Amino acid sequence: MPFEYPRTIRFADTDAAGVVYFAQILSICHEAYEASLQASGIELRQFFSRGAIAVPIIHTAADFRRPLLCGDAITVQLTPTQTGNDSFEIQYEVLQAEGKVAAIASTRHVCIDTATRQRHPLTPELTQWLQRWSPAESAPTDATPLD
């Protein structure tokens, strides 16, 4: 079941043409990611602090289907999928009030040891987060090497 994050497009999200600035869609998606972590009981300050483990984003993509304007009510549907014992990908659908897809995006994340910068297995809290919001049929696959 995907996590749903309701939001309103703000003036600061838009460019001179009055539509959401292309880079801002990834920021909005990251807001949804943070909200899903928090909804799963993960303490954000601790999660995003410079501790022994970090979960950097290693790839992003976004496609725009419809313009988003200041004042538009949207819902970001977030669906994570584990891709390895140390990685996951998140698919985002940005829906307008009438349910039409305005944008789709994805982010790929890898869990690393901050001291060695080497891959590290996902933490138990991330595994629980994945289980909560992932589709029931998803299963880990082999991870792509981090170079």
Query: How do the domains of the chain map onto residue ranges?
Result: 3-133
In this prediction, residue 147 carries a pLDDT of 46
State the catalytic residue, choosing from 15, 63, 72, 86.
15
Instruction: Give me the percent of the chain exceeding a pLDDT of 90.
Output: 86
72 is catalytic: no
3-state helix, strand, coil in the chain (%, to 5): 20, 35, 40
Q: What is the pTM of this model?
A: 0.90
Fold of 3-133: Thiol Ester Dehydrase; Chain A (3.10.129)
Q: List pLDDT tens digits, range 123-145.
A: 999 999 999 999 876 545 444 44
* Phi, psi angle pair for 28, to nearest 5°: -65, -40
Are the C-beta atoms of residues 60 and 106 closer than 8 Å to each other?
A: yes
What tokens does 101 get? 């897809």
Are the C-beta atoms of residues 107 and 55 closer than 8 Å to each other?
A: no
Q: List pLDDT tens digits, range 6-28.
A: 999 999 999 999 999 999 999 99
Are the C-beta atoms of residues 67 and 116 closer than 8 Å to each other?
A: no
